[in-house]
Amino acid sequence: QQRAILKAVVGIAEALQLKVIVEGLETTEQLDMVRSLGIHLGQGYLIGAPSEPNTAEAVFQDQPTLCHT
């Protein structure tokens, strides 16, 4: 059912020329599913635990490939 909901959201977003950002990615299975639907933006514990703004900024400066648009 999650896949069907995401597929519908992606369809609406494409029709409106919007990007989809997935929240709450916790497993590689979830990541694989959203990627298979063409979603390439997301956040969650799988990608990184919550952190202070300064720490997050340092991570993105050291790992520019994490910042994908």
In this predicted model, what pLDDT tens digit does every residue of 17-57 receive, in sequence order?
999 999 999 999 999 999 999 998 999 988 888 878 777 77
**What band does 68 get if pLDDT is binned at 50, 70 and 90?**
very low
Q: What is the pLDDT averaged over residues 58-65? A: 66
Q: Are 10 and 40 in contact (CB under 8 A)?
A: no
Q: How far is CA 66 from CA 9, 45, 52, 61, 62, in A?
A: 24, 14, 17, 9, 9
Question: What DSSP designation does 46 have?
Answer: T
Put simply, whether the predicted model's pTM sits higher than 0.85 gets the answer: no
